[in-house]
Structure 1
């Protein structure tokens, strides 16, 4: 890197990314202090101030952390898109910002760039027949919400119908109900209802029978944190089970996690990873607004050096790891 450009940390309603609680922000004063100690001048700015009045002079990068409110997140995506088109680098990346709460796009990008992502298909309706058990996932939703096993299109139709009902706004509920009832009588009403009813986007992933656990892995550039999550009793889902353990990971898992982070080309990345025989597959990834439980509670992280993988005492704050990852990433691009 030949010159050091100013970094704008973009907050939304005073919040940047998330701390251990979903609604809490990273400590911005500590985050800024850590970045500046690495030689990167920083400024924090509210999203709507930046959109309406512009970024401070000299900003070459913006760091965005996503937002759980859908409309606020869309505004952040709009602004980030324009910044990227204007030559301002979006960190961690524009692609992964758009992937937040969007498993469909994660799968599409994985096909385009050959990420080691589990095979899936993307839908808005239960199209066609299938023989194998699949994992149904709404494109948004954290943890195990919106996730179910399905064996036929009728089950998908039921799940989609329930999802559609949740999307109906109070002001349009009566109109849609009338249209739905009329669809049993009039062909024209049936056609209108098919188009105008709320549609639920979902993905179907191959079900891997016999899996007892998965891994939550968070990579901060070259620091890898690993949590092993066992499935719930009588269930196939590990996320949200509470049956979590920090165990010594294999070098193969550590290598895979670091390689995929480099391939996705972000300074930090959270992944849900499953073992498949002698290899691994990602079933979901996020680089904005991901839960930091694995980093916050780990006793050790793993760092690769010329001598191989080293186990290191995990004594950095979340803000320090974010700053470490960004500074190292910018020095290497």
Structure 2
């Protein structure tokens, strides 16, 4: 039986699950163990704080892990340190550390879109401060979509129509520490030539606006299973489809999927080389656009709300009417990913 390490947070939470019990407790670890056992995997659960790189070797070991959406993302930062160190030590981190870095970090997500070559038909710019923005104001075309780097369910997203609105928005998202700002001002008086810190250093994204949209589609791909739901733009929510309430969405066969949407999503999934992914896609009648993605610790409501999933067959995408538990879908995707990775490794050794 193959072994896999599953890293939990300090609350013994692993992963994300809609309708979890107790509330916000993540996946059911007993169920997860059961489904992995069926796939010939033995799961060893460990707390992140139990990792000791000075005593134990994790080189070559398969490691799955949780992320976090704690307030201020302070614990998530700790998780990043542990996972990056494990990856550097030679552990097989699933998914790789860069995907954790992009989780609830839309600035890095946009940078990943570029260096992974995911799509090139929608432009975006990332900024780390007001002063960064001021260097590029003359290149910005309005209206434009403003996004804070952190935030889920549409929080931090707004449509900006003028330069004045943009400047005000950047100021709005920053919480200033007036004592530290005053000390920095003092440095400028004391030291000739000293350049003060920008007062507004909260990173953000400006993304190209696609007009006249009525909805987006959220797609999960877990190995060979594809879940989809349509999210209408509800009155009063502006350009935000996310966060409109799961009872207002349309799942599976009711999602009114345009031809080519699943192929577009599958191409992104293949490029990302991950066991599972959540993708937000819009369609303007001519082209599909990748708006956002997450490769771990994303919402899973589309699974229990759906009557089944789509899978790619020789003649196209077939719908399988079968309601599955999140733990089953997750375990299957990890096992399939590792099997494909083993096959590729064997083929590489053989051809070498």
Normalising by the smaller structure, the TM-score range is: 0.7 to 0.9
Q: Alignment partner of 2:173: what SS?
A: helix
> Structure 2 length as normaliser, TM-score?
0.83
Moved more, 17-26 or 130-139: 17-26
Q: Name the counterpart of 2:8.
A: 11
Q: Name the counterpart of 1:95.
A: 98
TM superposition shift of 1:100: 0.7
Distance 1:144 1:55 in 2: 42
TM superposition shift of 1:324: 0.5
Change in Cα spacing, 1:309 to 1:324, as seen in structure 2 (3 Å) is same
Q: Name the counterpart of 1:222.
A: 224
TM superposition shift of 1:222: 1.3
* 1:105-157: CA deviation from partner (whole Å, max 9, x where unpaired): 11111111210263211012233132331000011100111111112332222
Alignment root-mean-square deviation, CA: 2.6
In the alignment, structure 2 segments of 5+ residues that lack a partner are: 342-352
2:81 matched to 1:78? yes
Q: Name the counterpart of 2:166.
A: 156
- Aligned partner (choices 212, 217, 222) of residue 214 of structure 2: 212
TM superposition shift of 1:274: 0.8
> Structure 1 length as normaliser, TM-score?
0.88
TM superposition shift of 1:6: 2.2
TM superposition shift of 1:305: 1.9
Moved more, 197-206 or 153-162: 153-162
Q: Alignment partner of 1:295: what SS?
A: coil
Q: Which has the higher contact order (CA 8 A, sep 6+)?
A: 1
Q: Alignment partner of 1:261: what SS?
A: helix
Contact conserved, 1:64 with 1:91, CA < 8 A, in 2? yes
Q: Name the counterpart of 2:36.
A: 35
Q: Name the counterpart of 1:120.
A: 124
Distance 1:192 1:231 in 2: 48
- Aligned partner (choices 229, 236, 240) of residue 237 of structure 1: 240
Q: Alignment partner of 2:239: what SS?
A: coil
Aligned residues: 321
In the alignment, structure 1 segments of 5+ residues that lack a partner are: none
Distance 2:56 2:300 in 1: 29
Contact conserved, 1:222 with 1:258, CA < 8 A, in 2? no
